[in-house]
Amino acid sequence: MADAAGADRLDEPGGSTVREAVGPRAVFGVIVPSTNTVVEHDYWSARVPGVAYRAGSMHIPNPAMNDDAGFEALLGQIRASIDTAVRDVLTAEPDRMVMGMSAETFWGGVEGKPVVAINAATLWHALRCHGLTDQLPSAGSLFRAH
């Protein structure tokens, strides 16, 4: 049920908002391609206490990325659907917005160079920008060390 201000209420005495129940420290909007099954899982798996995620999906009807032309077509699909995904996420009034996709990060390979996983890097950066400095040993080396 929504109150007069539009905030979702739990059916509990005191009327805590859902936001306060699952994201009292922060709510991050995460924009992902509809084909992505990893980003949300990675973010929730980090188990940052008091941080919640609201995902918005960019519709990708033809995810073929076999060559440069396919990748260019994918970028066109992203551009055609990102505004709707952002619009939908903004209804949750997130504290930060995070772009959760990595295809363009590794296009063409990494040639054996060390790489920080984009999901970890974007989550770490969003947390730090929000003033949250949790070190999470189970969430990889970036979260363990910094």
What pLDDT, on a 0 to 100 scale, did the predictor assign at position 138?
76
DSSP-based three-state secondary structure for 129: helix
**Residue 2 maps to a domain:** no
34 part of a folded domain: yes
* pTM (predicted TM-score): 0.71
Has residue 93 been placed in a domain? yes
Provide the residue range defining the domain that includes 60. Answer: 18-145
Distance (Å, whole) CA 35 – CA 46: 21
Tell me how many domains the chain contains.
1
**Contact in structure between 43 and 53 (CB atoms under 8 Å):** yes
pLDDT 10s digits, 41-79: 888 888 899 999 999 999 999 888 788 898 889 889 999
**Alpha carbons 96 and 31: distance in angstroms, whole number:** 11
| pLDDT class of 5 with cuts at 50, 70, 90 | very low
pLDDT at 11: 46
Count of Cβ atoms closer than 10 Å to residue 30 Cβ: 26
- Classify residue 8: in a domain, yes or no: no
What is the rounded CA–CA span in Å between residue 3 and residue 20? 14
- With respect to residue 141, please indicate whether it lies within any of the assigned structural domains: yes
- 126 located within any domain: yes
- Please check whether residue 24 lies inside any domain of the structure: yes
